[in-house]
Amino acid sequence: MAVYTAVSDEDLQAFVASYDIGEVTSFAGIAEGVENSNFMLRTTTGSYILTLYEKRVNPEDLPFFLGLMEHLAAKGMACPTPLHDREGRTLRTLNGKPGAIISFLDGMWPRRIQPQHCTGVGIAMGQLHTAGADFTMTRRNGLTLEDWRPLFEKSEARADEVCPGLADMLRRELDYLEAHWPRDLPRGVIHADLFPDNVFFKGAELSGVIDFYFACTDALAYDIAVCLNAWCFEPDGSFNITKARLMLSAYARLRQPSEAEIAALPVLCRGAAIRFLLTRLYDWLNHPEGAFVKPKDPMEYAHKLRFHQRASGPGDYGITAAAAAQ
């Protein structure tokens, strides 16, 4: 349950009264999510999300996240936008925590991924990369190449408790990535966590993207690699080339990836896999007894990483520059 901070009725009413959104009619914590406390807020003017930012979010990053949502929404992207209070502020404080009210998006995230969802996420990612091109703020990716080894070292001594040989495999993979990571690919604003639970659909139609709290400035193709990992593997561990092609061709309708970006996809996929493997491994090993949030399985990403290690090129993903353009 991702409600770490309780909010009293009095505090809520005083907080909401500083916005032009009417009177509170209902208020409830949202069970989903991992990082922050989220509440469904209904007032006489509509539905909203109240988020209190918890300890894993650096308050200095909040103007970037909120500014980015506002920028993308103003450019027509279906994503939440932060509300301004009567003094024009989007970032406020409630119960001693930084907080914001953002607009509510209709739809559901897909529990079982169908090919048309991969088309949808390809379009959403293309919209984000093009609409984000003139966003002037920047934020360093806090979970990229230089961050992976220090993160691994926090779990290194206990990694083999999860799977024998895991520490050695990760050590060798980090050596490989440090030697082969591409450094001159086109950069811009990326979502960096565009997983199915952050993309809403109404039926087969994309209705919006949420959770911009890992967004940052990095290689655009790294976002594609995150999505290939998160959307294109089947529950039995096989890679679905059809889903990858649909995602890439939908993305290319908005932004055509260069040949260098396509060629880099296998190594970017390895990087994206190790990023989620390492954060999941840390959370798995440091999961507080009795915590409500269930840690995600790090080995899911070890299996994905193994697929990428064996890939001989983008063709193994069903992807070529020409196919992406179709």
Ligand X SMILES: Nc1ncnc2c1ncn2[C@@H]1O[C@H](COP(=O)(O)OP(=O)(O)O)[C@@H](O)[C@H]1O
| 12 vs 34 by CB, closer to ligand LJ64HWYM | 34
| 139 vs 280 by CB, closer to ligand LJ64HWYM | 280
Q: CA 14 to CA 73: how far, in whole Å?
A: 27
| Tally of CA atoms within 13 A in the half-sphere of 84 that contains its CB | 6
Q: CA 273 to CA 176: how far, in whole Å?
A: 13
> What is the dihedral sign for C-alpha 108, 75, 250, 267?
negative
> Which of ligand X, ligand LJ64HWYM, none is residue 38 near (CB under 5 to 8 Å by kind)?
ligand X
By the rule CB under 6 A, 34 interacts with ligand X: yes
Which 161-200 positions form the footprint of ligand X (CB under 6 A)? 197-198
Closest-CA residue to 76 (of 128, 150, 6): 128
Are 147 and 279 within 8 A, CB to CB? no
The packing angle between helices 115-131 and 62-74, to 10°, is 100
Which range binds ligand X by CB under 6 A, 101-109, 114-122, 131-139, 280-288? 101-109
> Which of ligand LJ64HWYM, ligand X, none is residue 276 near (CB under 5 to 8 Å by kind)?
ligand LJ64HWYM
By the rule CB under 6 A, 36 interacts with ligand X: yes
Are 325 and 256 within 8 A, CB to CB? yes
Which range binds ligand X by CB under 6 A, 84-92, 163-171, 205-213, 299-307? 205-213
Which range binds ligand X by CB under 6 A, 26-34, 112-120, 142-150, 162-170? 26-34
For the chain, the maximum distance between any two Cα atoms, rounded to a whole number of angstroms, is 60
By the rule CB under 6 A, 280 interacts with ligand LJ64HWYM: yes
Instruction: Name every residue whose Cβ is closer than 8 Å to that of residue 293 and which is 6 or more positions away in sequence.
Output: 1, 2, 34
Q: CA 242 to CA 226: how far, in whole Å?
A: 17
By the rule CB under 6 A, 70 interacts with ligand LJ64HWYM: no
Q: CA 277 to CA 196: how far, in whole Å?
A: 17
> Which of ligand X, ligand LJ64HWYM, none is residue 30 near (CB under 5 to 8 Å by kind)?
ligand X
By the rule CB under 6 A, 58 interacts with ligand X: no
By the rule CB under 6 A, 211 interacts with ligand X: yes
Which residues contribute to the site for ligand X (CB under 6 A)? Answer: 2, 30, 32-36, 38, 49, 80, 102, 104-105, 197-198, 210-211, 213
Which residues contribute to the site for ligand LJ64HWYM (CB under 6 A)? Answer: 33-35, 193, 195, 197-198, 211, 276, 279-280, 296
